[in-house]
Structure 1
Amino acid sequence: MTSAVILGLILLIPILLIPRFTGWPKLIQSPTKLLLWCQRPKQSTEIISLRIYPIKSCRGIEVQSTVLKQHGLDLDRRWMLVDASSNTFLTIRQIPDMTRIRTALSADGDELVVSIPKPESNESTQDQDQDRQFHTIRIPSHPSPPWLAANTNIGPVHIWDTDTDGYRYSDEINAPFSAFLGRDVVLVHKGPTPRVLKGNGAPHRLGRVQTTGFPDVHPVQIASESSLAELNARLGKVGIDPITVERFRPNIVVRGKAPWSEDSWKLVRITGRNAVGISGDSAGDSGAAIQSPLDLDVVARCARCQVPNVDPDTALKNKKQPWDTLVSYRRVDEGSKYKPCFGMLSAPRNEGAIEVGMKLEVLEETTGHRYVAGF
């Protein structure tokens, strides 16, 4: 077969396919839809849970929908507790009991409701004894600058190797936290000084300057249900009851196609149920508005400490599990040779509404993930 014939066949194939593809004219007319069609996913899965942890290391909230911002999910780790004298952040690593501090949102979402166990409380009593068991505080979930100016004082805070600032709450707010934890602590809300990403998210690696609040390293952690199921199967073989994904404190939980397939993710896209498909049919064709896709750079695997050994319900720490099992087969990152990995760390490129049931599509993969130290 001559090269001319081969070239002719190549040119003929699109012509033969176009009549069978009813969405083609619409794609030609819309550059955005054409780009979406060309950038076909390598994997596709579904978001099954969204989780926020308003106060770092305290109990989180599972939500059906929220807003993905470039610094993370709305309200996620916007507050943390610091030592009153050193201004250094505190976590479950030093104080497992922090997980017994509960957070919730008021019915209208305007207030963060924090329930702090009273030192003499016994949480085995019935729920109707909530008032006797917990000290409850309410603060604005999205405090305005005037409110912060009137009710807090800005001061330095230290998290890992970064000095930044925070709005320090009053003694009245701090007292029940200090009483429960047995030490003087201060609740702080992220201050105006940017906390620029480091390590895998540093500007020269990410290609942009991006900031976050009080997560350990990067704005959004993604975890896979299929990977957790595989881990639980291994734990069962050594006599350990299944653990929940809450142990790993992720933000976005996806169903997952195969265990640990997330290890290779590099760029993922979140789209609604009515996202543009290759047929060109979408909610947008009927006049309904479609939100632009949400893209996240997956910058690193999440190297784990022993926080997942802490039961979030009781604050009791298992001396071995799931750490020992994870270490036995999940030391998969050359940049963090002595820590197991679970979940992927990411940095959103844009912002928008996100909800359970949306699709997560993998647009780019890599074999080059290597954890870079530096918080």
Structure 2
Amino acid sequence: MMSICVTDLFIYPVKSLRGIRLERAQLDIRGLEDDRRWMIIDDNNKFVTQRRLPTMALVQTQLTDSHLILKSAHGECAIAREYAGKGAPFSAVIWGDNVQVLDEGDAVSAWLSEALNEKNSGEQHVNEKNVTRQKKWRLVRLANQPRPMSKPQYLGEQTHTVFADMAPLLMANQASLDALNAALAAKGETPVPMNRFRPNIVITGLAAFAEHKLAGLMGQGYNIRFGYPCERCVMPSIDQMTAEKHPSMEPYITLRSINSMPAYGKGESAKPANPKAAAFGENAYLAQAQSCLVLVGDKFQVLHDAS
């Protein structure tokens, strides 16, 4: 087996918007620095992703020392990294969690609503005067109260996330993508890039889907534990450059046929295999309290025992 190596690092400052490729990133128990620190909510204060609004894939993100910059065909929108609003914290919902958030304001909401509604004609509703209008979307950040811990039985007692679905990190294996693309090509389908799966850390040096059999990886001065395989949804069927969905749900259908969800967990937390679901990547976390620096080119050794 060749050495296991980090080949790519990605963060997604706003949940479900386009990500940023990095050469180095600080990692702590919440994940990579600046990853999923903002999210978009609807008028029911519920989180929104590409599953519902595919055009989120078209909005680019950029970080400067002072601002988050959003870019689309409608121009740019700048949000101060230090909260500049005067709003009070309020409750929003992400999956099963109620979190306290701060709103980034009406001007940001107006910009987002224009950028995201262009192709999402289904996201409309009729008011009391029977006038159809586009929905409004709002950008929020976490307030001072932390998000409740998700799945500590798999992701560690000290782990926290901001607006990631469940785990602080998503680790992906390049060989697994290569195997998927070979299977797609054999069916006459177009291969897909890694951005369909929105990983944080991409590695080489493992056989395809071997990541599901490991407890984690040991780096230089830090360990990353694997919690459980990432069960995929329809999002990989969305082209991240065009926001178009594949009409036959590829690559999801092919992925499910070659790598369905394996069994995971132990004892009362054990989950059986699910052949009706597809897996890609590992939900993971930093197994230490102190932060560390992760760089493209970092080498890993296999961690077989998570105890």
1:254 aligns with 2:254: no
User: In 1, Cα distance between the equivalents of 2:101 and 2:179?
Assistant: 40
User: In 2, are the aligned partners of 1:57 and 1:92 still within 8 Å (CA)?
Assistant: yes
User: In 2, Cα distance between the equivalents of 1:100 and 1:206?
Assistant: 31
> 1:150-189 residue pairs with structure 2 within 5 A?
150-182=85-117, 183-189=135-141
Aligned to 2:19: 60
Deviations 1:76-102 (A, max 9, x none): 00100000x210000000111110111
TM-score (norm 2): 0.85
Deviations 1:188-240 (A, max 9, x none): 012222223323xx2x5555232110011100000011111111111111112
The CA deviation at 1:361 is 2.0
Q: Which has the higher helix share?
A: 1
The CA deviation at 1:68 is 0.7
The CA deviation at 1:172 is 1.1
The CA deviation at 1:252 is 0.1
The code of the aligned residue for 1:185 comes to: W
The CA deviation at 1:304 is 0.5
The CA deviation at 1:152 is 4.4
The code of the aligned residue for 1:346 comes to: A
User: In 2, are the aligned partners of 1:102 and 1:115 still within 8 Å (CA)?
Assistant: yes
User: In 1, Cα distance between the equivalents of 2:73 and 2:28?
Assistant: 31
User: In 1, Cα distance between the equivalents of 2:28 and 2:210?
Assistant: 25
User: In 1, Cα distance between the equivalents of 2:154 and 2:257?
Assistant: 30
User: In 2, Cα distance between the equivalents of 1:345 and 1:112?
Assistant: 26
Computing the radius of gyration over CA atoms, which structure comes out larger, 1 or 2? Answer: 1
- Pick the aligned partner of 1:210 from 143, 152, 159: 159
- Pick the aligned partner of 2:40 from 81, 101, 108: 81
The code of the aligned residue for 1:105 comes to: L
The code of the aligned residue for 2:226 comes to: V
The CA deviation at 1:170 is 0.9
Aligned to 1:300: 228
- DSSP-derived class of the 1:314 partner: coil
- DSSP-derived class of the 1:195 partner: coil
Q: Which has the higher strand share?
A: 2
Unaligned runs of 5+ in 2: 118-134, 264-270
The total of aligned residue pairs comes to 277
Aligned to 1:51: 10
Aligned to 1:327: 256
Unaligned runs of 5+ in 1: 1-41, 119-134, 272-292, 367-375
TM-score (norm 1): 0.70
User: In 1, Cα distance between the equivalents of 2:195 and 2:169?
Assistant: 15
User: In 2, are the aligned partners of 1:101 and 1:114 still within 8 Å (CA)?
Assistant: yes
- DSSP-derived class of the 1:316 partner: coil
User: In 1, Cα distance between the equivalents of 2:109 and 2:244?
Assistant: 24
User: In 2, are the aligned partners of 1:153 and 1:169 still within 8 Å (CA)?
Assistant: no
Q: Which ranges of 4 or more aligned residues in structure 1 deviate by more than 3 Å?
A: 150-153, 204-207
